[in-house]
Structure 1
Amino acid sequence: MGDSMSNPDAADYKVGQDNITPFGLDIHNPVFLISGLSIVAFVLVTLAFQQEATGFFNWLRPFLTSTFDWFFLLAGNIFVVFCLMLIVTPLGSVRLGGVDAKPDYSYLGWFAMLFAAGMGIGLMFFGVSEPMSHYDSAMGGISLEGGLRSDWAPLGGAAGDVEAARNLGMAATIFHWALHPWAIYAVVALALAFFAYNHNLPLTLRSAFYPIFGKAVWGWTGHIIDTLAVFATLFGLATSLGFGTEQALAGLNFLFDTPTGNGARVVLIAAITAAALISVLRGLDGGVKVLSEINIGLAALLMAFIIIVGPTTAIFDSVVSGGLAYAKEIVPLSNPFGREDANFSQGWTAFYWAWWISWSPFVGMFIARVSRGRTVREFVTCVIFVPTLVSIVWMGAFGGTAIEQVIADPAAAVQGAALELKLFEMLKNLPLASITSFLGIVLVIVFFVTSSDSGSLVIDTITAGGKTDAPVSQRVFWCTFEGLVAATLLLVGGAGALTALQAMAVSTGFPFTVVLLVMCVSLFIGLVKERKAMTAAAAVRQT
């Protein structure tokens, strides 16, 4: 164990030692109280002043993404480079949990939980709509949907060139779902797992900063870090749950002509939150793990169906050409300075990076909990490259099919459909449309449930000071308020509901970007010390 990590202030720290236990709860004072009361106040104030809140959200998102787009893009690049460095250096040989640790889950179960927690709802929502939006922009059109603006095509576009526009549209889409977001998740997950499993520190964000701040992480420095993590997680989750709600409602209306207004939004969020509560009560292995594996199986089935019955040749062309275009364009797409396609970088990329960063405490802690026993090299390689490959195939299947439909018929219904309806309009042109559309709705809802359940697990762990066995009633509290926050933002946002959701994700992702950059430094320090200790121990054994 490294010198800084052998400090008795860390070794003697007991998880939950400063918790209070009123009414059978197990509260980490003051993180639970500050974050819990702040969230309650946010819901009440936003509902009480809806008009003012709507104006504020409409101003906040474009202000942050246009002013700090360079910062989000630069930070995203740093996370990717840092992860690649861990793979190719000797630091990759460090094993999470120690040299004798064994993985708790098979690769299949591990990958299933990665995807279900990481970006399941997003892939369903944007799998068709985003490739189409970038293709349309690259061809010279304008896309302004759901607050995601692209009236200046990525990298200048390819006006009139169908093949070039498709490849550029696929490259721009893959860019938002591949290496960069998963590098963000990998940094947080690895830091949490390393300091928890190798140094017996609490499984909470503050522990990742011990090499820098020392015992101050058990005081207000740590309280601030954990509170920021709660806010980022909750609003990042609310954004995803909002996307899922809009798409599920649109799909139900598409199939069964059900209502789509505010009342329907509240009812659907309440029903799905209730399902998430049942999963909460079943625990990690009986709830999230089972649902994740079921959902990944259904998602793979739907993707395989589209590849087989859809324009198979065009899909494979989109996968291969799109993947190659992504590899070719990743440097100019990730350039944070002097861009001519500023509206693309601000309207899409900056929002995405802020969204992934706001999600990173949730996804990172969840991945950390299921990743004991992996080496750093194995962990980082799997977490960033396997999802990247799957995202390329997914976008090629869903987005490539939709683009091919528009190429064949520029007046195809999928072209003019609302963002949340594009998936169902694309499926409508394939066999068994009713069945596959219903399956799509089920996937969105189950991804919603697993995200809400695992999100409440993560927030509860943070607010309980790192305890993973806090009373279930606390997870019920957080699960309930995740639904309330999502419903509040959707209700207040009105026609611009998705803009309101995105505004809160960006506003919490911005300060947490700074936290993650410092976390990279702290993790590097910890891994270097661990590697030196491993080398010294190996030398002793040889003598």
Structure 2
Amino acid sequence: MKKVTSVFWISLFISVIFVMWGAFAPQNLDHVSSGIQSFLTDKFGWLYILSVAIFLIYSIYLIFSQYGKMKLGKQGDQPEYSRLSWFAMLFSAGMGIGIIFWGAAEPLIHFASPPQADPETKEAAVKALRYSVFHWGLQTWGIYTVIALSIAYFKFRRGAPGLISATFQPLIGNKVNGVIGKLIDIIAVFATIFGVATSLGLGAAQIGGGLAFISDIENTMATKLIIIVIVTVLFTASAWSGIGRGIKYLSNVNIILAVALLLLTIVIGPTRYIFETFFSTTLSYLKHLPEDSFASAPNSPEYRQWIKDWTVFYWAWFIAWSPFVGTFIARISKGRTIREFVVGVLFIPTLFCILWFAVFGGGSLYQELQGINTSLTDLAKEEALFGMFSSLPFGTVAIILAVFLISTFFITSADSATFVLGMQSTNGSLNPPNTVKLIWGIIQAATASVLLVSGGLGALQTASVVSAFPFIFILLLMIVSLSKALREDYHQELYYAEKKTDDKQIQR
């Protein structure tokens, strides 16, 4: 415990207070947090929407900018991981349980209650897939790109600690080592805890739903809590083994299982419909991207409420996830150019997400439209995926495979977050002590548990919205700081390149 900083002790103290609040007064916790969430979404929903659009625009700008060839590291540094392992780890950390939970459920919900179409029609189905892809596509990865690129740049090129606060050095100088820097890191720790707790709660609910489909186990609160305890033991063991072993291997297993589940569903499902849906959804998504990115519906109360319930929640959830995802992606991205990094983080996962929704969301909608299984929209969110599988040949095999996939994603997301929380509370150590990782693993599990008990999935969503709010401003300022650093280093490179050329000419 010699490596821990004041960020660890302060964050731990407040986290324990929160867990105790949820354990002894769950209804009060739900009431207070719900009130804060309502205030933030009513007054500042526009800020979540605008800031995420800015993150995407800035990320795309970097691809075509003069800074694209600059490396995340020194001139001779090479990537530590192959592109396949790199992609597997960043995808596992960035999406994980969420996309499995919502892959079939979200399109079905929008199909049954669309904001701008008649329910359960072909038009509603098209828009349901477009909205789902919008929530999991470029915007999401634009958030992760900004924070991951900033951390990686300052860590590997400027030799700064792997801390969120270290990215502010060009703006506040040595104050990153003082109170301001500590406050930034504490906010990052809490955003991470609540963002990951949301995913842990969703994962526990869906594993319980899967078990209920294939066994006599009921998906009760007790079942969910037992699942959290079991998975906590597993992901703590994985985090204990380190990023090069447990996390890397599990991430590769995740991709293998995800691809296997995709291929199985494509083969046993409506194959032609899935591929047609993939292409049509991609075109629809890109066509309406500018419109959807800035939609706020001031004159349509129903649509405006839908935006708050879905788009604002998602942006808040992903912003809350971003300190952990960004730090983790930065940790595994040394040696890549800025252009390669942004293209890889922004576009490859987005394409995978579109395919995922075409397969599982499209497959579910096909069953509803064709009258094969018209009860899918009546199922609980965590059961939608398994309900779709139940109507397919070899559906039980698919359900078992999905439960395994959810479990491995559960473990990978949690152990990645445990590793990152350890980094953030040990002054950016690339190998935080196992004791620290164990403590954060327990805190994450306890937070997810008290949120589930106090208000179920709604409480998990509330926690994300609330914890993300202060981090919006950190991310916006991070863009300013990174831009300043890029400009300084780029001109310095030009100066030394010109000087080297002049020296050679003089020697001749």
**TM bucket normalised to smaller:** over 0.9
Q: Deviation per CA, 1:200-249: give whole Å up to 9, x if none.
A: 00001011000000000100010000000000000000001100000001
TM-score (norm 1): 0.90
1:18 alignment partner in structure 2: none
In the alignment, is residue 427 of structure 1 matched against residue 389 of structure 2?
Answer: yes
> What letter matches 2:84 in structure 1?
L
1:454 alignment partner in structure 2: 416
Residue 336 of structure 1 deviates from its aligned partner by 4.6
2:325 alignment partner in structure 1: 363
How do residues 367-516 of structure 1 correspond to structure 2 at under 5 angstroms? Answer: 367-409=329-371, 412-493=374-455, 497-516=456-475
Q: Distance in 1 between matches of 2:280 and 2:415?
A: 37
1:70 touches 1:336 (CA, 8 Å); kept in 2?
A: no
Q: Distance in 1 between matches of 2:187 and 2:58?
A: 23
Which of these residues, 496, 501, 507, is aligned with residue 542 of structure 1? 501
Which of these residues, 43, 46, 61, is aligned with residue 70 of structure 1? 46
In the alignment, is residue 44 of structure 1 matched against residue 20 of structure 2?
Answer: yes
Residue 352 of structure 1 deviates from its aligned partner by 0.3
Q: Distance in 2 between matches of 1:298 and 1:486?
A: 25
* Bigger shift: residues 323-332 or 162-171: 162-171
2:292 alignment partner in structure 1: 333
2:238 alignment partner in structure 1: 279
Q: Distance in 1 between matches of 2:391 and 2:36?
A: 39
How do residues 232-311 of structure 1 correspond to structure 2 at under 5 angstroms? Answer: 232-311=191-270
1:104 touches 1:372 (CA, 8 Å); kept in 2?
A: yes
Using the aligned pairs only, state the percent identity. 37
- Alignment: residue pair count: 499
1:13 alignment partner in structure 2: none
1:354 touches 1:505 (CA, 8 Å); kept in 2?
A: yes
Residue 410 of structure 1 deviates from its aligned partner by 7.6
1:129 touches 1:399 (CA, 8 Å); kept in 2?
A: yes
Q: Deviation per CA, 1:173-197: give whole Å up to 9, x if none.
A: 1110010010000000000000000
2:505 alignment partner in structure 1: none
TM-score (norm 2): 0.96
Q: Distance in 1 between matches of 2:240 and 2:491?
A: 43
SS at match of 1:454: helix
> What letter matches 1:59 in structure 2?
G
2:316 touches 2:469 (CA, 8 Å); kept in 1?
A: yes
* Bigger shift: residues 230-239 or 45-54: 45-54
2:506 alignment partner in structure 1: none
1:143 alignment partner in structure 2: none
In the alignment, is residue 345 of structure 1 matched against residue 307 of structure 2?
Answer: yes
In the alignment, is residue 27 of structure 1 matched against residue 8 of structure 2?
Answer: no
Q: Distance in 1 between matches of 2:327 and 2:119?
A: 46
In the alignment, is residue 533 of structure 1 matched against residue 495 of structure 2?
Answer: no
How do residues 179-194 of structure 1 correspond to structure 2 at under 5 angstroms? Answer: 179-194=138-153
**Structure 1, unaligned stretches of length 5 or more?**
1-23, 139-152
Q: Distance in 2 between matches of 1:338 and 1:439?
A: 41
Which of these residues, 88, 92, 102, is aligned with residue 68 of structure 2? 92
Q: Deviation per CA, 1:494-529: give whole Å up to 9, x if none.
A: xxx011111111111011011100001001111111
Two-structure CA RMSD over aligned residues (Å): 1.4
Q: Deviation per CA, 1:134-186: give whole Å up to 9, x if none.
A: 22223xxxxxxxxxxxxxx1xx22x2794432221111111100100100000
Q: Distance in 1 between matches of 2:284 and 2:432?
A: 47
> What letter matches 1:351 in structure 2?
F
Residue 312 of structure 1 deviates from its aligned partner by 0.9
In the alignment, is residue 222 of structure 1 matched against residue 181 of structure 2?
Answer: yes
> What letter matches 1:284 in structure 2?
I
| Cα separation, partners in 2 of 1:220 and 1:128, compared to 1, 3 Å | same
> What letter matches 1:33 in structure 2?
W
Q: Deviation per CA, 1:445-485: give whole Å up to 9, x if none.
A: 11111111110110110111111223211111101111111
2:482 alignment partner in structure 1: 523
1:233 touches 1:459 (CA, 8 Å); kept in 2?
A: yes
